[in-house]
Amino acid sequence: MIFNNIGYYSLVFGLFISIYLLFFSFFLYIKGKSNNDLNLNIYHFSLIQLFLVILSFICLILCFILSDFSNETVYYNSHTTKPIFYKIAGAWGNHEGSLLLWLLVLTLFIFLFIIKSKSQPKKYRLLSIFFQQIIITGFFLFLLITSNPFDYLFPTPKEGLGLNPILQDPALVIHPPILYLGYVGSSIIFSSSLAALIENNLGTIWAKHIKNWVFVSWIFLTLGILLGSIWAYYELGWGGFWFWDPVENVSLMPWFSLTALLHTILVLEKRQLLKLWTIVLSISTFSLSMSGTFLVRSGILNSVHTFASDPERGVFILIFLFLLIFLAIFIFFFFSKNIEQVKGRNFYWLSKDFSILINNWFMMYFLSVVLIGTVYPIFLEVITSDKISIGPPFYNKLLIPFLIPFLIIMSFGPKLKWIKDRFEMLKLYKILFFFISLIISIFIYEKLGKNNLLISILILAGIYLFLISLIDFFKSKNNLSQNISHFGFSLLILSIILNSFFSSEFSSNMKIGDQIEFENKIIKFSKIESKKGSNYNSIVANFTIEDKNKRVTNFFPEIRIYNQPNIMTSEADIKTSIFYDKFFVVNLLKNETYFNVRYQVKSFMVWIWISTLLIALGGFIGLVKKIR
Amino acid sequence: MKKNFTFILLLVFFSLSFIILYLSLNKVETYVPKKITNKNIIKFSAQDLFSNQEVDFNNLVVKDKLTIINIWASWCQPCRNEHPFLMKLADNKKINLIGLSYKDNNKNSKKFLDEYGNPFSKVLVDKDGLISINIGAYGVPETYIINADKKILKKYIGPIKKENYFEIIGHANEIN
């Protein structure tokens, strides 16, 4: 009750401060005395704003911990029997709470931006604050008008309706916050690049300063995608790591754009080229992040993120998103004339700059494929009311052929010098590596007996990049962060290919006592037991798998029936080892004597997670080095 | 010149995207997890709220009436919102409205019916919620429309709204 009110009024005051800062920063910008520090009020009010949002977030968490069902959000998403850990996580596992978290990160980041940008020109900082406060005001309004987390309910219900049990998973507790850090980081890049464009401030110094923010968003976005993927694998029991599900795609699209930006910003820093392109990438990264939020939250995409969808909310985000896009387009076209291009600077074909440019072309290509695959079904449904769904074959066909040259360029591009490099004779070890990769890929090609030449060439390119980046990793110490990330990427590609080739699946309907042979192993369904958890009942099936050497492995997949709300979930039993995962999941069939049994051996699953972690780690090392 | 052209092209493109996304918003369909309509309702028996006697649901289905099961609870907020519609449905002679009290304290259930009125011809008690799970419910309130052959014609997840009310009346009028 009391926390409910505190939380609500902190938000209202936060909105007032936001509007004040919006006008105040613009007023100071127009008045425009340069070369002195920011007005102290801006520091103070940003800090108060941050404090208010934190306070309101803490209040929401307290409402959840105390199971205060007079709060509507708590009523719909919590239950007294829920473990305390998930009560807390319930605070941001729903639509209202997750938007409050967005807002929290927004206000935190703008405050950090203000204290971290002291070396930058004053007018540029004011303008960045102005743009950022537009976004913050928008989110405050969105929260208070359409999705207030502190709506009051009377009479107070005795019990809540529970949190969606598929959202009760440790990976999911941190998945949204991490992803939001990435998304919101891109809003800072958006605001400051528009400010830099207007102020004609695009140069080495600005690039150095904004690079930190690009790194921060990129690291969190990478980790956020990884966590989402881990969640789908372990909790949803989908039996894989990536499904080209629209909701997965909307987090991947800003990643492509941000990765392109991460590379382009280096060219801007070193050579003062690609100025406008940097702005375009900044705008598109943020717009894609916002579109992701729009598509998931509005319910246009039906998916595992089962938040209540409400067309009114969708309309609000949609209008807000397009206002920002139009604002960005207008600013871009009116002020891009001012940017003078440095004369006489071109790209030489054999240089680091040019290879980064090629990287950008590829990223844009990957981005457009995913964008079309995601948006096309929506557009088609509106125009012709046909329902189609675009699946993995579309992406495989369009992405794989382009991945091959991408990997090859990635294996030598990073080692070229800036501006102009000389063509060197191939070193012995490179030729050696090429032949090693060739032999391995021919071996794989023969062994699989698949007449798919394209995949074999992809394996060749993947192994070559792997070997080259492995050598770089040990040889050159001066660019550790890039080496780790690129090495991680080659490992990721290889793991994905091997995973898709060496995985096998068994699926059948079995009843208790059944035995079925599968690839020289005997799968036996011995019995079922029932078990009681804190807020669910479960049926545990006991399976044994005996291989030809009489070694027996036990599996205990579970079916959980949650009390509140009544949802059945399948908990896979996964045995992880270095080279493969054994994945066992059962589903209840309608007549109840038979169970649907799925047993999968997935090669190199762990390496997919490890390699993605390496990619993010590379970014992290780069960031630490820069801040030092 | 070239720049202006790109500018206009972008504006047109984004305006079109806006319109299409706006239209698709109104096409949002609610997601019903499992299709259970057109199937027979399961056999079950439960205690009567008032007489405490075991009642077989089969005996409650009447030939010339539309049977409606409404799963509700006194602690459920949306159930209060739909209650007026249930009261109105109870007035219809072709409708046989049966309540299933979900995970509720009997005292509270009775108090709720005293306070808001009792639209149900019979109220059955589902103390541990198992019957509701077996019927295929996902939460409270939920409403099932069942014909004389014990087939589920329709399922409403969440509170009954005005348009659902008229739909149910429509189903009832089809019975001669």
Q: Convert the pLDDT of each residue in A436-483 to its tens digit.
A: 888 888 887 777 666 677 778 888 888 888 888 888 878 776 688 888
Instruction: Tell how strand A521-532 and strand A536-546 pair up.
Output: antiparallel
Which among B26, B76, B133 is the nearest to A561, CB-wise? B133
Residue B66 lies in a domain: yes
Residue B22 lies in a domain: no
**Separation between Cα atoms, residue A141 and residue A187, nearest integer Å:** 17
pLDDT higher at A589 or B123 = B123
Q: Residue B24 and residue A161: Cβ atoms within 8 Å?
A: no
Residue closest to A410 by CA, chosen among A489, A324, A323? A489
Top residue of B5, B9, B19, B28 to mutate, by most chain A CBs within 10 Å, is: B28
| Interface check A298 vs B, CB under 8 A | yes
Q: Residue B138 and residue A302: Cβ atoms within 8 Å?
A: no
Residue B83 lies in a domain: yes
Name the DSSP class of A300.
S
Residue A163 has pLDDT above 60, yes or no: no
Residue A43 has pLDDT above 60, yes or no: yes
In this prediction the ipTM stands at 0.72
Q: How confident is the model at residue B65 (pLDDT cuts 50, 70, 90)?
A: confident
By C-alpha distance, the chain A residue nearest B79 is: A157
This prediction has a pTM of 0.78
Q: Residue B139 and residue A161: Cβ atoms within 8 Å?
A: yes
**Separation between Cα atoms, residue A347 and residue A341, nearest integer Å:** 13
- Most confident segment among A394-398, A511-515, A519-523, B27-31: A394-398
| Interface check A341 vs B, CB under 8 A | no
| Interface check B132 vs A, CB under 8 A | yes
Alpha helix ranges (H) inside A505-545: none
Instruction: Tell how strand B95-102 and strand B122-126 pair up.
Output: parallel
CA A450 centroid distance within chain: 34
For residue A322, what pLDDT is reported?
Answer: 92
| Interface check A158 vs B, CB under 8 A | yes
| Interface check B134 vs A, CB under 8 A | no
| Interface check B22 vs A, CB under 8 A | yes
Q: Convert the pLDDT of each residue in A374-384 to its tens digit.
A: 888 878 877 77
Q: Residue A64: enclosing H or E segment and its boundaries?
A: helix A40-65
Q: How many helices (H) and strands (E) does chain A have?
A: 17, 10
At CA B125, angle to CA B124 and CA B130, rounded to 5? 115
Name the DSSP class of B141.
S
By C-alpha distance, the chain B residue nearest A154 is: B77
Partners of residue B54 on adjacent β-strands: B47
Instruction: Tell how strand B95-102 and strand B66-72 pair up.
Output: parallel
Q: Convert the pLDDT of each residue in A56-98 to its tens digit.
A: 999 999 999 988 888 888 887 787 777 888 888 888 877 788 8
Q: How confident is the model at residue B29 (pLDDT cuts 50, 70, 90)?
A: very low
Residue B31 has pLDDT above 60, yes or no: no
Sign for the CA dihedral angle at A292, A115, A121, A13 comes to: positive
Q: pLDDT averaged over chain B? A: 81
Residue closest to A494 by CA, chosen among A459, A468, A446? A459
Residue A6 has pLDDT above 70, yes or no: yes
Instruction: Tell how strand B54-56 and strand A558-562 pair up.
Output: unpaired
Give Cβ neighbours of residue A242 (< 8 Å, ≥ 6 apart). Answer: A229, A248
Residue A303 has pLDDT above 60, yes or no: no
Residue B30 lies in a domain: no
Name the DSSP class of B151.
B
- Cβ-contact A477, A488 below 8 angstroms: no
Mean pLDDT value of segment A292-301: 70
Token match 């080739």: residue?
A501
- Cβ-contact A540, A530 below 8 angstroms: yes
Residue A344 has pLDDT above 70, yes or no: no
What CATH number has the domain bearing residue B60? 3.40.30.10
Overall number of domains in chain B: 1
pLDDT higher at A161 or B120 = B120
